[in-house]
Amino acid sequence: MTKEVEVKKEVKEKVAKAPKEAVKKENPNAKWYVLNIRTGYENSIQKELKQRIEATGMEDRIVDILVPTQKKIFVKKGKQEVKEEKIFPGYVLVKMELDTRTWDLVKNTEGVRGFVKTEKYPKPLPDSEVRAITKFMEVETPSFQTSFSVGEAVKITEGAFADFIGSVQDIDTAKGKITVLISFLGREAPVELDLTQVSKL
């Protein structure tokens, strides 16, 4: 056996013994579709779909599952709490190459009610809409979620005007601010406060 043949044999053995990397290749035929599912089960259905895809070896045909969410700041009893809120409750996005096998796998997953269709067939989402959704999800500064409404009577709980009663004039959910009209020195005066500084009556 020549030295060159021995080297080639050694290389082949090393390649055969080397661990195979699970590289996910992008499928050019895969498009985004919308699934109508049981509201409140978005995350569990996403997990179930991933498990079924792996079990059937269809990772190259169903390449991604997305539950669109956005961070929101909720104010309750003067305290802030950041939560992930579903943008489209009752819907999940799936990027897949649509054929009989992938259709059956997705449709027969518990909790999936079906594809959002145009007439008989599922209609893929335009790329522009998918980009808009993912961009919306990537917003780093969460907005405030509040149950106050303009014109509502509220009580100021903190600061120089604590215990004053007023009405909501404006709400800025991006900054977490609320403007309240109060009666002060015989006239109405607007006061800007944090959302945590007011409470419902």
Per-residue pLDDT tens for 119-150?
Answer: 778 889 998 999 888 888 876 666 677 888 99
Nearest 5 degrees, angle CA 91-CA 127-CA 53? 50
Per-residue pLDDT tens for 173-185?
Answer: 878 899 999 988 7
Which has more confidence, 126 or 73? 126
Q: Looking at residues 180-193, what average pLDDT do you find?
A: 88
Checking if the pLDDT of 196 tops 60, the result is yes
DSSP string, 91-102: EEEEEE--SHHH
In degrees to the nearest 10, what's the CA dihedral of 23, 28, 35, 46? 10
Report how far residue 151's alpha carbon sits from residue 168's, in angstroms, rounded to the nearest whole number: 5
Q: Which domains does the chain have, with CATH numbers?
A: 24-144 (3.30.70.940), 147-200 (2.30.30.30)
Report how far residue 190's alpha carbon sits from residue 179's, in angstroms, rounded to the nearest whole number: 6
Checking if the pLDDT of 45 tops 70, the result is yes
pTM of the model: 0.62
Checking if the pLDDT of 18 tops 60, the result is no
